[in-house]
Amino acid sequence: MTPDELYRTVMTVDPPATETPFEAATREFLFGQVWNRPGLSIRDRRLVSLACVAAADATGPIDDHVYAALRSADLTIEQLNEATLHFAVYCGWPKASHLETTVRVQWHRVHAERGEQPEPWPTLTADDLGPADRDERISLGQKEFVDVNGVPAPPSDSPYFHSGILNFVFGHVWRRPGLSRRDRRLVTIPCVGLSDAATPIASHVGSALETGDLTYDEMQEIILQFSAYYGFAKGQALHDAAERWRASKT
Amino acid sequence: MTPDELYRTVMTVDPPATETPFEAATREFLFGQVWNRPGLSIRDRRLVSLACVAAADATGPIDDHVYAALRSADLTIEQLNEATLHFAVYCGWPKASHLETTVRVQWHRVHAERGEQPEPWPTLTADDLGPADRDERISLGQKEFVDVNGVPAPPSDSPYFHSGILNFVFGHVWRRPGLSRRDRRLVTIPCVGLSDAATPIASHVGSALETGDLTYDEMQEIILQFSAYYGFAKGQALHDAAERWRASKT
Amino acid sequence: MTPDELYRTVMTVDPPATETPFEAATREFLFGQVWNRPGLSIRDRRLVSLACVAAADATGPIDDHVYAALRSADLTIEQLNEATLHFAVYCGWPKASHLETTVRVQWHRVHAERGEQPEPWPTLTADDLGPADRDERISLGQKEFVDVNGVPAPPSDSPYFHSGILNFVFGHVWRRPGLSRRDRRLVTIPCVGLSDAATPIASHVGSALETGDLTYDEMQEIILQFSAYYGFAKGQALHDAAERWRASKT
């Protein structure tokens, strides 16, 4: 596809004219080269890009990417809502608050443009909060932590680990239906990358590869997609983590 | 106090020589002016600064500020652990992971330097996770949301609000003992400030003032402490929110 | 110059009254001390500060700094447009998208205030995208990488390096006319600093000094300007990188 065709496919609207170096490079590099690459589907690239634009507080791009995700039907409203919660965990609640609002607004916009009433908003029940028993939560969290990270669960002896990591992040969020574990990795990896957290970068890049949820070639595509959207400066650390994992295999 | 004396009080070690413009400005501006101001205690300023250095991924300053908080006894190990969980919620788990590790390392360092065995690490129980009943959690979360934010609770109809905001953030974290609501605001305000999240900035700055948890003059000190550590560029949005609140009162 | 005079010179408007600790510190510290220092021109400091406010998503300061850069004629519209593209590479497209829009808005504002029609917007041609031949791009990228970084080019064996670093970042962006290599460093160094990217911090600070594009004293001024706008917490890592380079020379 030409850059303009790919822009239309990804963003679901006609491409604007390119008048500045930024706009010309956006069209040629982002759409002509990055989104055009094989190795990762456009849907997968959307999850990576959504995390990046949401973290970057870029209100215009957040609107555009959420709208395009819904309009293309690449992501359902349930999936976008799940991605928002997952993003909140890894990039913090304040940034996710804006994303949450945007999803609601764009959901109505997509239907309004089609002259439709929005489908009923998905309902949630107490069961969606996972098991109530607190010991069971910790126990499930320990198991999920091992499954996702491929290393032993941390001690349950600080609020961060006990109430946070084991009870909520792994005891609940990663175990929720609605997004596959692979999908959750597509949100998590850009988030740890932009957070510059050395240990989480190493553990999430390494475990995604180790579990086979993502191939090495897919990881390379994620890193390029991330670098294009969140900058090559931060991309380097993800790239180094992938290379360290590969080196450890030979 | 002179800048050097204040450096010694805050950082609990002798000030190094200042050889570069950065070092000289750090000493004169941060310690000679900002930390030296009345209107907010050094302990309060520590909570603001800890959130800033942890968010900035500044490994050296994170070590130094955690060490000084423990060595000065301004914050107990329980309080630092609570602050880590609260920080995780607002700035994301990846950055908090590094802070969690640092607290453990510096806790041992402080005791080792005194030739002491560390006191027993605080133990946690299932009760520390709050009520198990899921409807009760949501109900408590709605009440806490209103108390903290001074606005109606959001609908419980998306994973972000249901599982996240109501069940976990307000149904549990804000209600935990160990840090007062005022202390939690001293962590939250820098976190929403550095996250550039317009709605959370307005709601957290406004509600801290509206509830009287923080006075307008204290808020001004928080904003200056934040700006010194996380930059005047981001400080502007916090400042604007405080001014808008004040204008709404006249 | 007094802080007020310097404010007028830098921001090109009359200084507002200072009523809060934040405003007073901004005036006295930023304008009375930082912008007032010798060793780096105001134009150079503008490029550093622009990168900082754009990365900080500080919409008010972004407006003010872009306006002042154009109104002072310290930066031409072509240079600002180039700086936007360069910033996009290092801090990501979403944040740059807002800067791009701001440049257009302020460009019209500056002319409108003077009662002028804006000069014709600079036109771009396909040639501005650099050589089309892909092998030539990679080859030019490898050469430019060596020239800028002073270390061997990376292997062209991952999408990040092949399509990203060699083809686009060094094969095209750094080679564009419109900004000198030194100017591009004034944008790059704050971007790698605020991104907390350890390897890029070391390589860009070190290579700017090693090539002589920036002197050690100029680097110190950049670090202080950066710290004022993006915080002393993050300034530390740039400072440490400069000190490590100096130590390696003795």
pLDDT in tens, C158-181: 888 998 999 999 999 999 999 999
Nearest to B89 by CA among A77, A49, A169, C57: A169
Q: Which of A4, A7, A22 to mutate to probe the C interface, most C CBs <10 Å?
A: A22
Q: How far is A129 from chain B (nearest CA, A)?
A: 6
Looking at residue A250, its pLDDT comes to: 83
Residue A99 distance to chain B (closest CA, Å): 10
- Can you tell me the mean pLDDT for C30-53? 95
Q: Are A11 and A64 in contact (CB under 8 A)?
A: yes
Picking from A27, A29, A201 by the largest number of C CB atoms within 10 A of its own CB, the best residue to mutate is: A29
Q: Kindly report the nearest CA distance between residue C156 and chain B, in angstroms.
A: 30
B155 pLDDT band (50/70/90 cuts)?
A: very high
Residue A148's pLDDT is: 96
Report the residue of A121, A129, A140 to disrupt the B interface, i.e. the one with the largest count of B CBs within 10 Å.
A129
pLDDT band at C125 (very low <50, low <70, confident <90, very high): confident
Give me the residue label for tokens 């007020």.
C4
Considering chain A, what percentage of its residues have pLDDT values greater than 90? 78
Q: Name the least confident of A24-33, A143-152, B59-68.
A: A24-33
Tell me: pLDDT of C127 over 80: no
pLDDT at residue B58, as a whole number: 86
| Residue C197, pLDDT score | 80
- Given a cut of 90, whether residue A19 has pLDDT beyond it is no
Sequence-distant (≥ 6) Cβ neighbours of residue A112 within 8 angstroms = none
**pLDDT tens across C194-227, in order?**
888 888 999 999 999 999 999 999 999 999 999 9
**pLDDT tens, A99-150?**
999 999 999 999 999 999 888 888 888 888 888 888 999 999 999 999 999 9
- Report CA dihedral (C168, C171, C175, C176) to the nearest 10 degrees: -40
- Please state which of the ranges A192-196, B234-238, B241-245 shows the lowest mean pLDDT: A192-196
DSSP state of B73: T
pLDDT surpasses 80 at C128: no
Nearest to C89 among A53, A56, A232 (CB): A232
A63-88: burial string, b at 16+ Cβ within 10 Å, e else: ebbbbbbbbbebbebbbbbbbbbbbb
| pLDDT number for residue A34 | 94
Which tokens go with C243? 């000190």
Mean pLDDT, rounded, for B83-104: 94
| pLDDT confidence bin for A198, thresholds 50/70/90 | confident
Nearest to C208 by CA among C171, C167, C241, C235: C241
Interface of B with C (CB under 8 A): 20-23, 25-26, 29-30, 33-34, 37, 39, 52-53, 55-58, 60-61, 196, 220-221, 223-224, 227-237, 239-240, 242-243
The reply to whether residue C53 touches residue B221, judged by beta carbons under 8 angstroms, is no
- For residues A49 and A225, the answer to whether their CB atoms sit within 8 Å is yes
| pLDDT, position C76 | 95
Rounded to the nearest integer, the mean pLDDT of chain B is: 94
How far does the CA of residue C164 sit from the closest CA of chain B (Å)?
25
Kindly report the number of other CB atoms within 10 A of residue C17's CB atom.
6
pLDDT higher than threshold 80 for residue A223: yes
Nearest residue of C to residue B225 by CA position?
A: C22
Average pLDDT over residues C15-37: 92
Number of B/C CB contacts below 8 angstroms equals: 118
Mapped onto helix, strand or coil, the DSSP state of residue A172 is coil
Q: Do A223 and C95 touch (CB under 8 A)?
A: no
Determine, for residues A227 and C164 on separate chains, whether the beta-carbon distance falls below 8 Å: yes
On the 0-12 / 13-18 / 19+ scale of CB atoms within 10 A, B233 is buried
Q: From C246, which residue of chain B is nearest by alpha-carbon distance?
A: B20
**In this model, does residue C157 exceed pLDDT 90?**
no
Place of tokens 């996380």: B230
* Best residue in B195, B199, B203, B230 for a mutation probing chain A (most A CBs within 10 Å): B195
C71 Cα to chain B: minimum distance (Å): 20
Predicted local confidence at residue A131, as pLDDT: 87
> What are the tens digits of pLDDT across the range A43-72?
999 999 999 999 988 889 999 999 999 999
Cβ C84 vs Cβ A20: under 8 Å: yes
- What domains are there in chain C, each with its CATH number? 37-117+147-248 (1.20.1290.10)
pLDDT digit string (tens) for A170-188?
A: 999 999 999 999 999 999 9
What's residue B104's pLDDT? 95
CB within 8 Å: B228 and C232: yes
pLDDT digits (tens, 9 = 90+) for B107-128: 999 999 999 988 889 888 888 8
Which residues in chain C touch residue A36, judged by CB atoms under 8 angstroms apart? none
How many C-beta atoms lie closer than 10 Å to residue C101's C-beta? Answer: 14
With 0-12 CB in 10 A as exposed, 13-18 as middle and 19+ as buried, what is C132?
A: exposed
Confidence of residue B192 (pLDDT cuts 50, 70, 90): very high
Token match 């050690």: residue? C216
Q: CA C225 to CA C94: how far, in whole Å?
A: 24
CB pairs under 8 A between A and B: 167
Q: Which two tokens stand for residue C246?
A: 């100096």
Q: Is the dihedral of CA C210, A238, B235, B46 positive or negative?
A: negative
